[in-house]
Structures are given as C-alpha cells and as structure tokens.
Structure 1
C-alpha cells in the first residue's frame, strides 16, 4: 500500500492503430494513435501520437512517420520503446515518479515467445518496474463485463487494427483462441487496392480509413451511402475526385469479413459441448474498433445463427479490462501469461 503514494500503476493497450493507457482510480487517461514521426537525419523523435498521425503520408523526405506496431506485435523495437516512454511520461504529467510504475500490457493471443519478450523488454526500458502480460481477448472480455471467472462459456471477438482475436473463455482461462492477422488495417488496404484496380486512382491510408469509417459496411444497408474520394489518377498522373458507393466498399471488404467469420466458425467448432451450450444462450460479444463497421453484427448473426451483441465502448474494451485486472491482484495472477 505504501508504494501507491508514489507511483501510478498503468494498464496499456498497445494496439496496432491506437495506444490507450488506463491509470488506477482515474480510468483511461490517454488515447492516441500508435504513430511516431522520426527525423531520419538526426534520428530524433519529432512527434508522437495524434501529431505524428497527421504527418502520415504528408511528411517531407527527412521526416518519416512510422507505425511501430504491425499485426498486434512490435515491428520496430526502438521506436516502440520511445513511443511508450513518451506516453508514460505524458500520463505522469512529465514529472518523474519516485517509484517506477507496474504495467499491465495486453498482447494478441497468438503471440510467440520472442514477440512477448520484445513487448516486455520495451516496457521495462521505457521505465516500468514490473511488466505483466495479459491476452487481449481476456482483457476485452473483462472490459465488456463478461463473467470470466464463472465456469460458463463466453465467446468474445475482438477486431482491432492488426489482429482479430476470437476466444472462448471460462473460469478465468482461455479454452480456445484463434488469432488472425486480418483486421482494421487489412480493411484499409483492401479499400486502397479496390479503388486502384477499379478506377486507377491511388489513395492514401488516411483516406481509406475515412472511407471505411463513413460508408464501410459488412451487410447491405437500408439507406445507400456515398462518399467523395480524392486521390491521384494513375493514368493521367493528376489529382482527381470520385464518388464511391457503400456497395463498392462492401465488395472491397468482403474477403476480410469472410476471414473473420471463418475464424469465429472455427472457434465454435472447437468449443467443448457444455461451453457451446452456454454460448447458444449468451451469444457472441464483439469488441474492438473493427466492430464499429456497420452491419457486422447482422453478418455474424446470419453466419452463426447466434445472438450477437456489440460492446458499448468497443474501442476501450481492452484497456478497461486491463485496468480492472490491475486493481485486482488475484485476477492478475490468474490471467497474466
């Protein structure tokens, strides 16, 4: 208890797209894109988070905007460490704490030992005293309020930026989990490729994300939507504007969604019968940023025939779950890997 006066223990959702930090007694205090802008000549960090995301695809030659996380795991070790250090410092209001914080970090369930070691090492070198790793689907399930400690089956689908995690959870343990590296980023790439193929128009990552958020859908919509898309014409080489409909974007995203549905079906096939009976009653809970795509619940309901419920605060589920674990030492012991 004595240490609590000096350090703020943190829970970190180190995501491919966004990093969220949860502080005990304060809730989520930071939510920023996982992007770092680095000056390639001096190797200095120019900007981190929101400011750096503004530079994606717009920076001059000597400044590179890097996304250090790829597919839910660390792709650039040093950059991740710099980013974590910046965020931890920002949460502590730039004051140096007397005691370094304990940190809980959520990682994908399909993570290898080497990858989990990289996460642990980068957090330690960014100033953590102790690092606990918790599987993302477990964190998401706790975050959306599923009764994970009871001996009954819960099926959670967490669609993030880099990975989609499908897990069956019972008695604070993961009974079966499937992690596919197809999620939000993959959807953005699919939109870029589709528009490039169909219209010979090249668009950037930020534009494709905007299209996905505004008119992306997994199931036919009642009211058709369109969006104006600006990019570079590959034939004429000049900037050009197009109008794209939700139907076209749905076609572009079809493959990504079928991969996600397939992962859910595999999880259901591998679930022990008693737990499967629980899931029939409770249904499937979907969390993560990817669950915000319109009509995804309808698509999953059609594919599985089970009731689907979307998490209330889909983007924060993993961070909230990691935060709850942080303040419950017993649960932390059970679920940390």
Structure 2
C-alpha cells in the first residue's frame, strides 16, 4: 500500500513516497552504511574499492581496501567512487554496492535478494546525479528505490520532529561536504551546501605540515591527527603527538612532534567557512520559524560533529544553542532506515 504527501515550499517542491521498506542506504564519500529496520546498522565500512590495474579485477572493498592506501604495490589502485557526496565513478560505485549487498545478505537471509531501499542523496544534487544513485541501486538488484534528501534523513536519524510545524535546524558535517538545512512540515525550507568536510580538514593538516615542516604525510596520518588532537578554535588541548613522513628537501624519513594548537590553526579557515554557511541558512529562516531556532537550537550530525569543541565553538559564533546528535556519524543511515516507517506518523496531522 502506498500513500503520498505533496508539499509546496516556496519554489521548491517536496514529494514523499511511503511504502514498506527493508533497507536504508547511506552511500557517502568516505563510508557506506546499511540500516535494516529489523536488525539495525548491518554494514559500516569505508567506501573504498581496491582494484588490480592490469587485470581490472576487484581485490577488496571497505576497511581492507582502505588499509591498502599508500601501502599497496603499484598494480593496486585504491579509489573512493564518490566525491563531495555524489557519484564520480559509476562502475566502481556499482561494484562497491554490489559487494556490500553480497556481504550483508548473510545477515538478512534470502529476503535480501530483492530489497526495497531508501537511499540518501545530497539536497543540491542535480537530476543527473540523483539518477546515478537510483541506477546503482537498480543495478544491484533493488526492487523499489526511494531517494531521500540527506538533511532530512539526518534529522530523522537524530530523532527530530521533522513533520511538525517547527524549525528543525540540522547541520550534517560529512566527509566530502557540509549541508546546513532548516526543516519544517517534512520539507526543507532553506539549505546551504559547502564542499568542505572531513576530507578538506585532512587536506588542511597535510598542507600545514608540508609548509611548516617540509614533511609529506599521507591521508591516513592526517586523519589520525585530526581525530587525536584536532579541535575547533578556542578548545584547549595539551597533549601533542608524533608523526612520521618524508622530508621534501632531503628525501629522508623524518619524525616531528605536532602540537594541538598548530592543528587548530590549520583547521581554522575551513571551520570559519562552515560557520558562515550555517549563518547564511539562519538568515534565510522565515520570521515565523525564527523563534523555534532560538528555543530548539542547531543539531550536528556527521563525523565532523565529533571534532573536539565543535558544538561550543559554533554556539559562540552563531549565538544559538548547538547540540551533537546521538550517534552523529550514523544519523543519515539510521534516518534512511527509519524514514518510511516514521514519516507517516509524524506527518499524519498534515495528510
């Protein structure tokens, strides 16, 4: 049985389809997550694909493929098929999702052969980009495919009342992009997307280390630095860490001690751009919803929400309460899995 709700919000139209669904998919820039309504999160690994260059043969996906980055022989190519939240390499993305389905089928049994899926897409994705997500799921054997905009999925995963006539401000800090949105009555009232996320923060650290110390470090080292001693401006950390890389001048291997204040300085410019994008969204908020934002605040999701001091710093910058959602990294996946079950209840009053 299928019901629908059509809402017109300014120049943008939101169309919801409600059907019985088996699986939610968050195919992200750096991670792919599958959420089952009956078994919860059943797959959560890096969205990496390792191929044999000459034979064009799949070697590994997920965590195993990620560990090969910078360490594998020349004939092994490791890629991430998505860039900035959208599909950059259709064939690799298709192979990745097929393998994810295959690995997950053992948990879901025979019914997984033709699953109904809900798949998240960036809010500002073009019709061509949205079609790519749809086609990949179709190629992987999905029976029915429904696309849900990422900010809405994140809000549902964060347990926000997205169907009520109140302003829900969600900021999804992903790996390839940041999306800040105001959601009310089940639709997106305003949204800003920025191609700055966790990957850019890693790049900022790599550039800083190279410029300051003439040291080349890899992506995984930069990510580890961000996780261990990275922080938003104003956060006080005392414990540094030692990192290893190659000196660009001598070519020799070298170790340096990196201070948290240096990492904070390296990340500051990108974080300021994120704060400015959120501020721009708040300025687009209709007057009738502005009071809700002051009362309810802003909710952060995505891996970037876990950066130390992020909620305190954004709260001070924007003069609005800021909170981190429960399980922020998994919020979109959880939201896709819950969407078709939860939304009819939340929007019942509007039908």
Q: Normalising TM by the smaller chain, what interval?
A: over 0.9
Deviations 1:96-152 (A, max 9, x none): 658511111111111111111111111111111121111111011011111111101
Q: Distance in 2 between matches of 1:252 and 1:331?
A: 45
2:272 alignment counterpart: 258
* Partner SS state of residue 248, structure 1: helix
Which whole-Å CA distance do the structure 1 matches of 2:259 and 2:229 have between them?
Answer: 8
Tell me the CA shift for residue 328 of structure 1.
4.5
Are 2:196 and 1:182 aligned? yes
Given candidates 279, 292, 314, the residue that maps to 1:278 is: 292
The count of residues paired between Structure 1 and Structure 2 equals 329
Decide which of 309, 324, 349 is 1:295's aligned counterpart.
Answer: 309
Residue 233 of structure 1 corresponds to which residue in structure 2? 247
Query: Take 1:327 and 1:44, find their aligned partners in 2: how far apart are those partners?
Result: 39
Secondary structure at the residue paired with 2:67? helix
1:20 pairs with 20, 33, 37, which one?
Answer: 33
Is 2:118 the partner of 1:104? yes
In the alignment, the residues of structure 2 paired with residue 175 and residue 220 of structure 1 have an alpha-carbon distance, to the nearest angstrom, of 32
Aligned residue in 1 for 2:224: 210
Does the 8 A contact of 1:217 with 1:250 survive in 2? yes
Deviation of 1:223 after TM superposition, in Å, equals 3.6
Map of 2:45 onto structure 1:
32
Contact 1:220 1:247 (C-alpha < 8 Å) held by counterparts: no
Q: Mapping of 1:76-115 within 5 angstroms?
A: 76-93=89-106, 97=111, 100-115=114-129
In the alignment, the residues of structure 2 paired with residue 35 and residue 223 of structure 1 have an alpha-carbon distance, to the nearest angstrom, of: 32
Tell me what 2:319 maps to: 305
Tell me the CA shift for residue 329 of structure 1: 7.1
- 1:225-253 Cα offsets, whole Å, 9 max, x none, are 30111111101101110000111111111
Cα offset, 1:331, TM superposition: 7.1
Aligned position for 1:4: none
Tell me whether 221-230 or 189-198 shows the greater mean CA deviation.
Answer: 221-230
SS at match of 1:55: coil
Mind listing any 5+ residue stretches in structure 1 that lack a counterpart? Answer: 2-6
Quick check: 2:113–2:141 contact (8 Å CA) kept in 1?
Answer: no
C-alpha distance 331-35 of structure 1, shift in aligned 2 (>3 A): farther
SS for the counterpart of 1:32 is strand
**TM-score when scaled to structure 1?**
0.94
Q: Deviations over 1:232-284 (max 9, x none)?
A: 11011011100001111111111110110011000000000111110010011
CA contact (8 A) 1:37 1:46 kept: yes
Cα distance, 1:219 vs structure 2: 2.4
User: Which moves more between the two structures, 110-119 or 7-16?
Assistant: 7-16
Deviation, 1:164, is: 0.5
Matched, 1:9 2:19: no
TM-score normalized by structure 2?
A: 0.90
Q: Which residue of 2 aligns with 1:59?
A: 72
User: Conserved in 2, the CA contact under 8 Å of 1:163 and 1:182?
Assistant: yes
Q: 1 CA distance for matches of 2:290 and 2:239?
A: 38
Q: Return 5+ residue gaps in structure 2 as ranges.
A: 2-19
